[in-house]
């Protein structure tokens, strides 16, 4: 899968490395900004109040 992705990418190796880096950073940003907060609230609720 990743090998296929690597072959699909155009340009010489350094261009591909650049594209992959940008993609990885974008994926990490989406995870940290939206996916992780949602997962934390949904899967691991932390209650610190009484009653509720």
Partner 1 sequence: MTENETVGGPDDSTKALEPTTETSPLSRRALREATRAEAARSVAPRRRVSVVGVLGELLITAGVVVMLFLGWYVWLNDIVAGNEQQQAAVEVQQELQDRWERGEGVAERPADPGEPVVAEPALAGEVFATLIVPRFGDDYTRPIAGGVDLRTVLNNRQIGIGHYLETQMPGEIGNFAVAAHRTTYGAPFADIAELRVGDLIYVETADGWYEYAFRGLEYVWPTAVQVLEPVPQAPQIDPTDRILTMTSCNPKFSSAERIIAYAVMENWYPRADGPPAALEGIVEASAS
Cα–Cα dist 19/11, whole Å: 10
Residue 45 in the binding site for partner 1 (CB under 8 A): yes
Residue 51 in the binding site for partner 1 (CB under 8 A): yes
Residue 33 in the binding site for partner 1 (CB under 8 A): no
Could you say which of 18, 23, 26, 39 contacts partner 1 (CB under 8 A)?
Answer: 39
Binding site for partner 1 (CB under 8 A): 1-4, 28, 31-32, 36-37, 39-41, 44-52
């Amino acid at each position: 899968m990743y090998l296929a992705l690597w072959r699909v990418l155009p340009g010489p190796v350094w261009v591909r490395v650049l594209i992959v880096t940008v993609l990885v950073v974008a994926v990490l940003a989406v995870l940290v900004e939206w996916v992780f907060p949602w997962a934390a609230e949904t899967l691991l609720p932390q209650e610190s109040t009484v009653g509720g």
